[in-house]
């Protein structure tokens, strides 16, 4: 008869094997349904017998723990960067240096340069020990709990010649499909978009809540084993061993007998990489023999035996169909080209920013031109040059008047952009300010959107944000697409916005350069609107991160009598212009259900509860499988502890909790 412990071990092994087949080999041998069935059995058994849970249990992957204090860890071997070049000539120079130093032609290993976030992982006695980010190269953050959620990373390994302890380097990446889905979702929720998969990846591995990281579906490729004793004489053989032990190593890695084969590899992948489901930005060329690597050694920053050949950013040629001029909420005019749709680095591009008049003139972009489009670091692609002008075309003249209100545009000194100065009368500026005001991170009036703002504005119901607070249900119901229920929802959420804390009200006003973080800093520093409005430049600049530009913007804003009148109306309607005691200090516990029990030494139970809320968590009073964290005090009853242990809920004492919330 199989014991429970044996059964748990067996299921763990079986599931890990299937995970490996699916996520590393991309070759599943059972259906998702079958997998889930086995997983369910394991979850149930582990719940009942937590003492038998294996350190490499696949149930660890869902990120049920919370332990993200991100301790700083020193790297045993510094995480260096690579020398890089965009030119084939420089690559030949590199090769000459290598040959000169080694006095022979070496073999090289060519690998793709993955564009993600580098990670250093330590394994001990065949088990995953920890994962640390690059940080400043000498020390990084321990992100183990988050990394465990990446299914292609083995939690245990097996095979021959595995050192007792070793460090391995790799790149965490987010595949295109996952990235696009994530951004789509963020757009729907009114959250800021990630510019590219690399940023999304680094953002993800630094998230506080591992459960959230698990949802990001990250992947990882391993490319280097560190340490003085290596299991083989060459890098290539080591990669093959790593792959046998269970690590995901790119199948596109190639052993090259000479530099010509290196160039062949580069030429092949310059184009072929566009078909890969993830971003790569070059090829890494490494001397294969470890003995030769040792002979060449390192400079202070880079290994002398390796180099990254970087691909030029991907470009496509397409046609400019027309040019629009957008008016932002600050009155800034942005020229935007409408393009013949074209596929570029994983998505279809229809529009590209032209930035400003100078840039447009510099590139001499005309309607119907064929232009080069490139994806830079930003979300919106840019036009980087003209391939050919349209026959008979004439230079584009930048507009002189606002496309929305016909006011003559102006250009401020030192500003590249044109502005429409008609702040109070230009519809897109007014609507833009109201849209910003109601947005999720500002007043969060979520029953309204861009269309409702336009509808109310066009029907003369609102002229500025304060008009929202005088709206009546009866005014809304007769409007197009509105009904009793929607009108009611709108009035309710406007009413509810009166509880929005001061820092977000300040952000909602849309003062130039006052983003979410700056608003928070100012609100905490000055405590209320009156003090902030009366502060002089010196006082403003004494606040952390407030510089010249922001201080000037605030002073200019409060010098305008219309702004003072607006604020005083909003005050009359009951908006928060003063910090409240209970306001959130951080989002460390965001989305988490936290239970407390027992007595505490330094704080009352109420204080601990308040702290949970201030850091974004939710207080709960009974333990269930949905509880994320248990703050354990003294003199606590045994039944709660037992239940929490059974459910595998993360437990912390008073000190640990305080450390967690900083
Ligand atoms: S080798 C000593 N190989 O590129 C080993 N790095 O610019 C040094 N990277 O920090 C790294 N793909 O994050 C290596 N196949 C690959 C790589 C790779 C991506 C990243 C890595 C590194 C950066 C250097």
| Residue 265 alpha carbon to ligand 1 centre in Å | 17
Separation of CA 211 and ligand 1 centre (Å): 28
64, pLDDT greater than 50: no
**Which of 10, 37, 113, 441 is labelled catalytic?**
113
Q: Would 305 be classed as within a structural domain?
A: yes
Residues 6+ away with beta carbon under 8 Å from 274: 314, 345
303 and 321 in a single domain? The answer is no
CATH of residue 597 = 3.40.50.10190
Rounded to an integer, the average pLDDT of 443-470 is 94
Q: Looking at the CA of residue 111, tell me the nearest atom of ligand 1.
A: 15
Classify residue 332 by its DSSP letter: B
Atom 18 of ligand 1, residue of closest alpha carbon: 113
Taking the CA of residue 226 as reference, the ligand 1 atom at the shortest distance is: 2
- Dist. CA 162–CA 242, nearest whole Å: 9
Is the same domain home to 169 and 202? yes
In a domain, 414, yes or no: no
Q: Is residue 356 classed as helix, strand or coil in its secondary structure? A: coil
**How far does the centroid of ligand 1 lie from the alpha carbon of residue 276, in Å?**
18
**Protein residue closest via CA to atom 16 of ligand 1:** 113
Q: What DSSP letter does each residue of 415-455 carry, written as one string? A: -SSEE---TTT-HHHHHHHHHHHHSTTTT--TT--HHHHHH
Do residues 238 and 195 make contact, with C-beta atoms less than 8 angstroms apart?
Answer: no
- Other Cβ atoms less than 10 A from the Cβ of 440: the count is 12
- Regarding whether 512 and 453 lie in a shared domain, the answer is no
Distance CA 433, CA 510 (A): 7
Nearest CA residue ID for atom 22, ligand 1: 81
Three-class DSSP category at 336 = strand
Q: Would you say the CB of residue 111 lies under 6 angstroms from ligand 1?
A: yes
For residue 594, is pLDDT > 70? yes
Q: Which of 393, 347, 397 is nearest to 373 (CA)?
A: 347
Decide if 581 is inside a domain.
Answer: no
pLDDT higher than threshold 50 for residue 445: yes
The residue nearest atom 9 of ligand 1, judged by CA position, is 113
Of the listed ranges 19-33, 201-215, 216-230, 573-587, the least confidently predicted one is: 573-587
20 domain-assigned: yes
* Per-residue confidence (pLDDT) for residue 379, from 0 to 100: 65
Both 138 and 149 in a single domain? Answer: yes
Query: What is the predicted pLDDT for the residue at 104?
Result: 94
Q: What is the mean pLDDT of residues 468-478?
A: 94
Residue 187 sits in a domain whose CATH number is 3.30.470.30
Q: Is 283 in the pocket of ligand 1 (CB under 6 A)?
A: no
Domain boundary among 523, 538, 572: 572
Output the domain CATH number for residue 529.
Answer: 1.10.150.20
CB-CB contact of 657 with 595 (8 Å): no
pLDDT digits (tens, 9 = 90+) for 492-545: 999 999 999 999 999 999 999 999 888 988 887 788 999 999 999 988 987 777
Is 206 a residue whose pLDDT tops 50?
yes
Looking at 241-250, 268-277, 460-469, 534-543, which range is the least confident one? 534-543
550 alpha carbon – ligand 1 mean position (Å): 39
Shared domain check, 439 and 335: no
**Which CATH number characterizes residue 9's domain?**
1.10.287.610
The protein residue with its alpha carbon nearest to ligand 1, atom 17, reads: 113
Collapsing DSSP to helix, strand or coil, 77 comes out as coil
pLDDT at 63: 59
Mutate to test the pocket of ligand 1, among 114, 172, 197, 306 (most ligand atoms within 8 A of CB): 114
Domain match, 50 and 88 both? no
Structural domain range at position 31? 4-62
pLDDT at 378: 60
Q: What percent of the chain has pLDDT over 90?
A: 57
For the question of residue 113 being annotated catalytic, the response is yes
Largest CA distance in the chain: 88
Cα distance between residue 338 and residue 348, in whole Å: 13
Q: What spacing in Å lies between the alpha carbon of 269 and ligand 1's midpoint? A: 17
Determine if ligand 1 sits within 6 Å of the CB of residue 82: yes
User: For ligand 1, atom 21, which residue shows the shortest CA distance?
Assistant: 118
Mean pLDDT of 598-615: 78
- Please name which of 273, 164, 167 lies closest in space to residue 222, comparing C-alpha atoms: 167
Q: What is the mean pLDDT of the chain?
A: 89
Kindly state whether residues 271 and 165 are assigned to the same domain.
yes
Q: Is 75 in the pocket of ligand 1 (CB under 6 A)?
A: no
What pLDDT was estimated at residue 267? 95
> Which atom number of ligand 1 is nearest to the Cα of residue 308?
7
Alpha helix (H) residue ranges in 575-652: 605-614, 638-647
CA 384 to ligand 1 center in whole angstroms: 28
User: Could you tell me if the CB of 223 is within 6 A of ligand 1?
Assistant: yes
Q: Which residue lies with its CA nearest to atom 10 of ligand 1?
A: 81
Among all chains, which residue has been given the structure tokens 């953050």?
141
> CA of 560: how far to CAs of 272, 433, 526, 546, in Å?
58, 16, 20, 21
pLDDT tens-place string over residues 7-49: 999 999 999 999 898 888 888 888 888 888 899 899 999 988 9
Helix axes 259-272, 88-102, angle to 10 degrees: 150
**Residue 297: inside a domain:** yes
CA–centroid distance, 117 to ligand 1, in Å, is 9
Find out whether the beta carbon of 113 lies less than 6 Å from any atom of ligand 1: yes
Atom nearest to 81 CA in ligand 1:
24
Verify whether ligand 1 is closer than 6 Å to residue 80 (CB atom): yes
Of the listed ranges 274-283, 418-427, 431-440, 590-599, the least confidently predicted one is 590-599
114 lines ligand 1 (CB under 6 A): yes
Residue 281 Cα to ligand 1 middle (Å): 11
Mutate to test the pocket of ligand 1, among 132, 170, 171 (most ligand atoms within 8 A of CB): 171
Residue minimizing CA distance to atom 12 of ligand 1: 113
What percent of the chain shows pLDDT beyond 70? 97
H-helix or E-strand spanning residue 342: strand 333-344
Considering 256, 291, 310, which residue would you say is the last residue of a domain? Answer: 310
Task: Please identify, by atom number, the ligand 1 atom nearest to the C-alpha of residue 118.
Answer: 13
Q: Is the pLDDT of residue 68 over 60?
A: no
pLDDT category at 67 given cuts 50, 70, 90 is very low
In Å, what is the CA distance from 293 to each residue of 168, 256, 319? Answer: 17, 16, 49
Ligand 1 near 278 CB (within 6 A):
no
Q: What is the pLDDT of residue 377?
A: 56
CA of 21 to the centre of ligand 1 (A): 25
* 3-state secondary structure (DSSP) of residue 349: strand
Residue 651: HSE in the Cβ half-sphere, 13 Å Cα cutoff: 17
C-beta separation of 170 from 118 below 8 A:
yes
pLDDT mean over 471-477: 94
Same domain, 141 and 274: yes
Task: Give the range among 375-384, 442-451, 591-600, 626-635 with minimum mean pLDDT.
Answer: 375-384
Is any ligand 1 atom within 6 A of the Cβ of residue 224? yes
What pLDDT is stored for residue 66 in this prediction? 43
Q: What is the dihedral of CA 114, 117, 122, 126, to 10 degrees?
A: -50
From ligand 1's centre to the CA of 524, what distance in Å?
A: 42
Distance 88 CA to ligand 1 centre (A): 19
In a domain, 406, yes or no: no
Confirm or reject: Cβ of 308 under 6 Å from ligand 1: yes
Out of 75, 113, 138, mutate this one to test ligand 1's pocket (max ligand atoms within 8 Å of CB): namely 113
For 72, the 3-state DSSP assignment is strand
**Total domain count, the chain:** 6
Which 8-state DSSP code applies to residue 396? P
Q: Looking at 62-66, 575-579, 653-657, which range is the least confident one?
A: 62-66
**Is 638 a domain residue?**
yes
Residues 473, 509 within the same domain: no
- Cα separation of 385 and 320, whole Å? 12
Q: Is the pLDDT of residue 658 over 80?
A: yes
Highest mean pLDDT among 45-59, 615-629, 638-652: 45-59
Q: Is a pLDDT exceeding 80 seen at residue 189?
A: no
Q: Is pLDDT above 90 for 201?
A: yes
Among 539, 572, 605, give the residue marking a domain's end.
572
Ligand 1 atom with least separation from CA of 117: 13
pLDDT of residue 65: 41
Position 84 pLDDT exceeds 50: yes
pLDDT score for 349: 87
Q: Is 171 in the pocket of ligand 1 (CB under 6 A)?
A: yes
Residues 285 and 170 both lie in one domain: yes
Beta bridge partners, 128, equal 123
Rounded to two decimals, the pTM is: 0.60
Q: Is residue 196 part of a domain?
A: yes
Residues 482-489, mean pLDDT to the nearest whole number: 92
Least-confidence region, from 346-355, 363-372, 383-392: 346-355
How remote is the CA of residue 146 from the centroid of ligand 1, in Å?
Answer: 21
Q: Does residue 139 share a domain with residue 201? A: yes
Same domain for 184 and 330, yes or no, is no
Asked if 304 and 287 count as a contact pair (C-beta separation under 8 A), the reply is: no
pLDDT at 583: 60
Look at residue 414 in the predicted model and tell me its pLDDT.
77
């Amino acid at each position: 008869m199989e014991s429970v412990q044996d059964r748990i071990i067996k299921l763990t092994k079986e599931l890990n094997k299937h995970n490996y087949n699916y996520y590393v080999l991309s070759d599943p041998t059972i259906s998702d349904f079958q997998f889930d069935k086995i997983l369910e059995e394991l979850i149930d058994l582990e719940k009942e017998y937590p003492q038998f849970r294996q350190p490499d249990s696949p149930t660890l992957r869902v990120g049920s723990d919370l332990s993200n204090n991100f301790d700083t860890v020193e790297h045993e071997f510094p995480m260096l960067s690579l020398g890089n070049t965009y030119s084939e000539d420089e690559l030949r120079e590199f090769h000459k240096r290598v040959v000169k130093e080694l006095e022979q032609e070496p073999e090289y290993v060519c690998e793709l340069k993955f564009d993600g976030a580098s990670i250093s992982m330590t394994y001990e006695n065949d088990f995953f020990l920890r994962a640390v980010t690059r940080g400043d190269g000498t020390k990084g953050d321990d992100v183990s709990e988050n990394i465990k959620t990446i299914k292609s990373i083995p939690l245990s390994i097996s095979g021959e010649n595995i050192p007792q302890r070793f460090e391995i380097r790799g790149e965490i990446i987010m595949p295109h499909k996952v990235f696009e889905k994530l951004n789509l979702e963020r757009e729907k929720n009114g959250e800021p978009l990630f510019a590219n998969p690399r940023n999304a990846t680094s953002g993800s591995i630094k998230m506080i809540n591992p459960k959230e990281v698990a949802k990001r579906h990250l992947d990882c490729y391993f490319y280097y084993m560190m340490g003085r004793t290596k299991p083989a004489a060459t890098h290539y053989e080591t990669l093959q061993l790593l792959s046998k032990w269970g690590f995901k190593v790119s199948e596109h890695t190639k052993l090259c007998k000479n530099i010509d084969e290196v160039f062949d590899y580069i030429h092949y992948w310059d184009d072929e990489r566009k078909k890969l489901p993830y971003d790569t930005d070059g090829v890494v060329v490494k001397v294969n023999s470890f003995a030769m690597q040792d002979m060449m050694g390192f400079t202070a920053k880079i290994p002398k035996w390796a180099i990254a050949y970087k691909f030029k950013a991907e470009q496509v040629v397409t046609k400019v169909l027309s040019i629009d001029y957008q008016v932002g909420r600050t009155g800034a005019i942005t020229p935007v080209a409408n393009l013949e749709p074209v596929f570029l680095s994983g998505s279809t591009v229809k529009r590209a920013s032209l930035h400003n008049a100078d840039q447009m003139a510099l590139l001499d972009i005309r309607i119907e031109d064929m232009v080069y489009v490139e994806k830079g670091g930003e979300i919106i692609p840019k036009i980087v040059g003209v391939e050919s002008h349209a026959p008979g075309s004439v230079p584009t003249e930048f507009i002189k008047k606002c496309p929305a209100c016909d006011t003559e545009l102006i250009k401020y000194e030192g500003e590249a952009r044109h502005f429409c100065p008609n702040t109070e009368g230009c519809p897109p500026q007014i609507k833009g300010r109201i849209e910003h005001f109601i947005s999720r991170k500002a007043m969060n009036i979520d029953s309204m959107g861009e269309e409702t703002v336009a509808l109310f504005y066009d029907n003369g119901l609102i002229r500025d944000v304060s008009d929202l607070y005088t709206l009546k249900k009866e005014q809304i119901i007769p409007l197009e697409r509105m009904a009793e229920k929607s009108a009611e929802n709108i009035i309710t959420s406007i009413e509810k916005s009166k509880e929005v804390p001061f820092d977000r009200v300040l952000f909602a006003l849309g003062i130039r350069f006052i983003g979410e973080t700056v608003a928070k800093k100012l609100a905490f520093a000055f405590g209320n609107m009156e003090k902030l409005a009366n502060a002089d430049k010196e006082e403003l600049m004494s606040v952390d991160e407030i510089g010249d530009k922001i201080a000037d913007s605030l002073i200019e804003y409060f010098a305008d009598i219309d702004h003072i009148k607006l604020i005083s109306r909003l005050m009359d309607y009951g908006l928060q212009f003063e910090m409240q005691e209970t306001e959130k200090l951080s989002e460390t516990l965001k989305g988490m259900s936290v239970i407390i029990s027992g007595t505490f030494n330094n704080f009352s139970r109420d204080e601990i509860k308040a702290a949970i809320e201030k850091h974004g968590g939710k207080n709960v009073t009974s333990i269930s499988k949905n509880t994320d964290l248990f703050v354990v005090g003294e003199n606590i009853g045994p039944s709660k502890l037992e239940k929490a242990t059974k459910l595998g809920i993360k437990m912390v004492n008073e000190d640990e909790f305080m450390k967690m919330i900083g």
